[in-house]
Structures are given as structure tokens and as C-alpha cells.
Amino acid sequence: MMAKAISKVKDSTRKSPDPVAIEREFRRKLKSTQVLIGGIVAEFIRPPLAKVYAYAGFDFVYLETEHTLFNGPELADFVLACRDNKLPVIAKTPQLERAAIAYLLDAGVMGIQLPRTESREDLLELISYVKYPPVGSRAGAPGYGNTYYIWPDDPNGWLKGCNETTVVVGHIETAKGYENAEKIISTPGLDMLYVGPYDLSISLGYPGNYDHPVVAKATREIMELCVKHKVPFGTSTSGAKVAGQLIKKGARFFETVDEMMLICEGAVRTVDDYRAVAKS
């Protein structure tokens, strides 16, 4: 890219922040036995939500950028707010395309989740866009949310650190992805594997029935392959009880609930409680 017009203060006591500190901590948790809980953001992408999710204790934020209408400034503001609250962000790329992925990463997103992952080739292309040379082909663009809008003191160290910590997430949600699961999961450079239960249930012929034996079997077999290849497995479930069963079998992370559902559930519960009191 063209050199950015920036002013560098000549002060030997002033150091730029570590731009991959949050990513390193997430990697540490991922290597442990800790189960990681992600809060989904689907509609109201406002900085205060980052504080609420941090207060709740989520381990990461999952941005649903495939089906929503986030614009540039609000997404960048929200990602920065997450980072300021030590919340790493994983975003689903709307498509397997260089510019779309770079836009998310340069905003400060830690990891990219690829919807409809159906082959090893899909993942290798994603890895190429996510990693800097010599590993991949990502273009260098410091000075945005990815470095807290501050030019890194050590460009070589920053590039190396990004390659070591940026997270690649496969996303199996079709019968074809299920069929190719082992080739996908054994891809070098894959960091996490998520099963999308809703679309998988549609693809397998049981729309919306996460717990149908056919859908549950596919999920279990994919999870077993993840355990075999030492790739952290995650999904979304019909509830905490099912999540508990999966944790016992090796599940490591969950993308749980979005702010729309939390608002809806809280609103309904509040109204129902007051209606019950009024009738008593």
C-alpha cells in the first residue's frame, strides 16, 4: 500500500502498544482446557454492547457479517471498543474474497470464520488472505484498528506476531462440508472448526431441528474428527444442557446468543412477570 501520512513523535520513552496482545491471550486460552463462550452481535453494533459483553464475561465476540448490514464506520468503532475492553473479535466473512477479509482484519478483527467451508482448497485460500508473506498474501496496512491507529515500532515483529496469532475458523454447515470434514479439519493452518447447526439441519433435511438424530450424528462425527486432529471444535446448541453433553465429548467453544435474542427474552420475561403480578 502507499505510505500513510502520519506524524511520528521522536520520543525514545514512548512505545506503541502491542497490537497482538489480545490475540496472544486468546491463543493461550485456546491451548488450555478452558471452554470459550462467544457472544454474537447481529444487529445493534454499538460500542456500549462491547462493555456489556465484557461485563457478562464472554471470552470473545462473534460478528455475524454475512447476513447483516453493518457499515464501515460503525463496524470499525465497535471492533475498537471490543479491543479496548480486551474482547477478541471473530467475524464471519460475507464471502471468500480478499478485500472483504482485509476490511475486517484491518479494522482489528482477530479471526475470520468462513461460512460454507466445503473443501481444503477453501481453507487454503482463506489462509492466504489472512496471513502475511511468506505464509500468505495479505497486504500490509498498519495504522488502523489492527494497530490501535498507531504505527507499530517494530514492523517485522508486528507482521510475525500477526501470522502467529490471527485465527482461521472453518465453518461446516452443508452436507458437502460434512462429507469432506476430515480433509477440512486436517488442513494445516486451521485453528478452530465450527459447525453451523441451522444450515446443516436444512442441508440434511431436518430444518431447525438441531437435536434430530441425523443432525446430532453429523455434529458428533465432525467433533470426533476435531478431537482426533487436535482442532478445537465449537457450535451453537439448543441450550446449555446440550452444550454440557458436547463439552464432555470434546467441544471447546460455543457461539451462543445474539443481542436481539437477549433483548427479546428479557423484554418478554419482564412483561410476563408484571402481567402475572397484575393478575394476582
Calculate ∠ Cα 27-56-44, nearest 5°.
95
pLDDT tier at 204 (50, 70, 90 boundaries)? very high
pLDDT band at 90 (very low <50, low <70, confident <90, very high): very high
- Interacting residues of 25 by C-beta distance below 8 A, sequence separation 6+: 86, 88
Q: How confident is the model at residue 68 (pLDDT cuts 50, 70, 90)?
A: confident
Phi and psi for 6 in degrees, rounded to 5?
-135, 160
How far, rounded to the nearest angstrom, does the alpha carbon of residue 235 sit from its chain's CA centroid? 12
CA dist 278 and 280 (Å) reads: 6
Q: Considering the chain, what is the average pLDDT of its residues?
A: 92
Are the CB atoms for 128 and 164 separated by under 8 Å? no
pLDDT tens digits, residue range 206-256? Answer: 999 988 999 999 999 999 999 999 999 999 998 899 899 999 999 999 999
- Domains of the chain, by residue range, sit at 21-279
- State pLDDT tens for residues 245-279: 999 999 999 999 999 999 999 999 999 999 999 99
Domain 21-279 has CATH 3.20.20.60: yes
